[in-house]
Structure 1
Amino acid sequence: MKFLLTTTTATSLLAATMGAAMDQEAPVNAVVTIGMIGDVVKNVGGDCVDVTAIMGPGVDPHLFEATASDVRTMQGADVIFYSGYSLEGQLGDVLERFGRQKPTVAVAPASVDPGDLITTQDVYGIDPHIWMDAQLWSQIAPTIEETLAEIRPDCADRIGANAEAYQQELLALHDWAAASIGSIPEAQRTLVTAHDAFAYYGRAYGIEVAAIQGISTESEASVADIRATADAVVEAGVPALFVETTINPRTVQSVIDAVRAQGHEVEIGGELFSDAMDEDGTPASTYIGMIFENTAKITQALGGEVADVPDALSGWADEWNAAEIIDR
């Protein structure tokens, strides 16, 4: 409710912000919490926006605490976009305070139908990892479009065209991921990861998901968690487990050791991007690349075949050499 109220307060501040922004030819200064939002803002805003992400590659948003420098960055923003649903839980008070000063938009609650959300039995209530479903994540584009266009009405037509084109790319990405994961033999279609960030991915693309830890990463997995996951891997005959870029890999290695102690061979299928994207200048520094790389690794490690890249993604594929990603 606090996030929703912040968004509502931010909307009421748009008119005040518009005047100042329109007097400047400089791009809108948009500050975002996570890179997955930042890449959507870049694609929708184009040259009408400059984007700064508070949390960079390898940063776990569940544990993130803002520094004085981060607060100064947000103070200088024309607009702040954050995910919501407690993903940035430790930033909640900071975001609420900025929501009384400038447009501060929780993109997930503002964009995604509540009926499409995955509920949880923990303190989160709602699983915040919505970007793991490209179709759902595409729904934040109109929210970002509307916000930026109200701040910079002179850019509204360009922003609208960008948003529509980018949404079509994400829908094509969604279909491609479903086709790739669907090629994995059904008996091997189980994704085992360090923490529970892939529930939306599993639901969207038809793969069972087993996580060693829950949604939060504040506490480490217990011996019982490791033993239970190892038993599930052996029972299902899963050939590969996956580590995550924001999580210490030792928990996954503990499961592998427990699995091998039962006489079942399993390997690490690769490193997945869950709560953060990759370093700038790499394919997975883009949201499309993040989902593309994850899907290629999962598909190949579990015995499937990566689908052909659709025409709608040809621009991204040419820029980032998608064929090389698949061949790694």
Structure 2
Amino acid sequence: MTFLYAARRLFLIATVVVATAIAGAFASANMAVAKPLNVVATTSMIADAARQVAGDRADVTALMGPGVDPHSYRQTRSDIAAMARADLVLWHGLYLEAQLEEFFLDLEKRRNVVAVGEAIAKDNLLGHASYEGRYDPHIWMDPQLWQTVVLAVRDALIKTDPEGEATYLGNADTHIAEIKKLIEYMKSVTTSVPEKSRVLLTAHDAFSYFGRGYDFEVLGIQGISTESEAGLRRVEQLVDIIVDRNISAVFVESSVPERNVRALIEGAEARGQAVKIGGTLFSDAMGEPGTYEGTYIGMIDHNTTLITRALGGDAPETGMQGKLAPTS
């Protein structure tokens, strides 16, 4: 009896140990599934798209925060470490992060790296005489194009985390619907700007897609990259345009110093043309995290409303905020 009792006791102990091990393995597997993806994005606009589509299934980090200029950004050691640890790295492409392009092309050989801006068909992109073989990268300025980027982010997330496909598909559809509402708002208010006043003059040439989509002539003091120099001759040419066409408002940008815009204003005033700053536009970066302007929809709503009102059009002072609450 003693031997049988001992044998049964050992068998029960072994059964409990095995069961505990199995339960622990299942728990670890469930924890692994439940653990959010680690996603790193270069720009705040791409990061917002990833947050909207991924929801709780991903922790998303933007390398470039409010007021940061992606044209001149240099990666830090902590950036490299963050990308090395990431499950998915999303960058823009189209030569926006020009100084990082070689780095990302090398990184994608070893890590899960996707250039989401490259999803736009080339015939929908704007070229530029100063950058042969390259395209204007500021595609987020036209929400119609940005929808394609959202879908590219969705597809990258699905490939990285197939089990979350239903979530990613549903969230992307919801966000695209919000973007469509934004497009309708933009169409409705920008058409109220008098035709002769549809001249958008800013610090650098970041708004050409907005201009093409909503029928504005766009002029930038600098080229499509803030790394380009604004020469005295360019400033003089723009002063001539301001005076000849009686332009009353120019715009500064949150990620570009104001000095060139101030030079324009001073030059115009010296020739008797009063010019005001129509406001600060978000060009290459969104607003502060946690604010409406810190979302893609809030950023574009802010720009559209500000431009419309400053150039003599009719738009609500609060834009479309409240009609469409951000989801992040």
TM-score (norm 1): 0.86
CA distance in 2, matches of 1:63, 1:262: 34
Asked whether the 8 Å contact 1:63–1:218 carries over to 2, the reply is yes
Q: CA RMSD in A?
A: 2.2
TM-superposed CA distance for 1:314, in Å, is 2.8
Q: Which SS does the other structure have where 1:66 is aligned?
A: coil
Which residue number in structure 1 is paired with residue 302 of structure 2? 293
List structure 1 runs of 4+ shifted beyond 4 angstroms: 20-23, 307-313
Query: What is the one-letter code of the residue matched to 1:237?
Result: N
Q: Which residue of 2 aligns with 1:243?
A: 252
Q: Does 1:42 align with 2:51?
A: yes
Deviation per CA, 1:217-240: give whole Å up to 9, x if none. 114311111111111111221110
SS at match of 1:119: coil
CA drift of 1:198 comes to 0.4
For residue 150 of structure 1, report the CA deviation from its aligned partner. 2.1
**Secondary structure of the structure 2 residue equivalent to 1:212:** strand
Contact 2:251/2:277 (CA < 8 Å) preserved in 1? yes
* Contact preservation (8 Å) 1:176, 1:309: no
Query: Counterparts of 1:181 and 1:237 in 2: how far apart (Å)?
Result: 20
1:23 Cα deviation after fit: 4.2
Which residue, 310, 313, 317 being the options, matches 1:304?
313
Task: Report what 1:316 is aligned to.
Answer: 325
> CA separation in 2, counterparts of 1:21 and 1:243?
50
> Where does residue 141 of structure 1 map in the other structure?
150
- Tell me whether 1:181 sits opposite 2:204 in the alignment: no
Please list the CA deviations of residues 2-46 of structure 1 after superposition, one character each: whole Å capped at 9, or x if unmatched: xxxxxxxxxxxxxxxxxx999442111110000011101100111
User: CA–CA distance in 2 between the matches of 1:95 and 1:106?
Assistant: 9
**Aligned partners of 2:317 and 2:95: how far apart in 1?**
36
Higher mean C-alpha deviation, range 121-130 or range 76-85 = 121-130
Stretches of structure 2 that go unaligned for 5 or more consecutive residues are: 1-28
Q: List aligned pairs for 1:159-178, cutoff 5 A.
A: 159-178=168-187
Please name the residue that 1:16 is paired with. none
| 1:62 maps onto 2:71 in alignment | yes
> How many corresponding residue pairs?
299
Report the CA distance shift for 1:204/1:21 in structure 2 as closer, same or farther (over 3 A).
farther
Find the aligned partners of 2:298 and 2:283 in 1 and give their Cα distance: 12
Equivalence for 1:113: 121
TM alignment of 1:209-224, pairs within 5 A: 209-224=218-233
Match of 1:140, as an amino acid? V
Question: Compared with structure 1, are the counterparts of its residues 311 and 87 closer, same or farther at alpha carbon in structure 2 (3 Å cutoff)?
Answer: closer
8 Å Cα contact 1:168-1:312 kept in structure 2: no
Match of 1:128 among 131, 137, 140: 137
Show the counterpart of 1:11: none
Tell me the SS of whatever aligns to 1:56.
coil
3-state SS of 1:268 partner: strand
Q: Letter of the aligned partner of 2:128 in structure 1?
A: T
Identify which range, 302-311 or 75-84, moves more after superposition.
302-311
Q: Is the 8 A contact 1:21 1:151 kept in 2?
A: no
User: Unpaired runs of 5+ in structure 1?
Assistant: 1-19, 321-328
Q: Is 1:260–2:269 an aligned residue pair?
A: yes
Task: Give me the whole-angstrom Cα distance separating, in 1, the residues matched to 2:30 and 2:285.
Answer: 30
Amino acid at match of 1:194: A
The amino acid that maps onto 1:161 is G
Tell me if the contact between 1:184 and 1:305 (Cα under 8 Å) persists in the aligned partners.
yes
Q: In structure 2, give the amino acid aligned to 1:137.
A: W
2 CA distance for matches of 1:43 and 1:288?
A: 11
Structure 1 residue 315 displacement after superposition: 3.7
Mapped to 2, the partners of 1:113 and 1:220 lie a distance apart of 29
- Given that 1:239 and 1:265 are in contact with CA atoms closer than 8 Å, whether structure 2 keeps it comes out as yes
Distance in 2, matches of 1:23 and 1:47, equals 14
| Residue 166 to residue 186, structure 1, CA distance change in 2 (3 Å) | same
Aligned-residue offset at 1:290: 0.5
Query: Which letter does structure 2 place at the counterpart of 1:265?
Result: A
Q: Percent identity?
A: 40
TM-score normalized with structure 2 length = 0.86
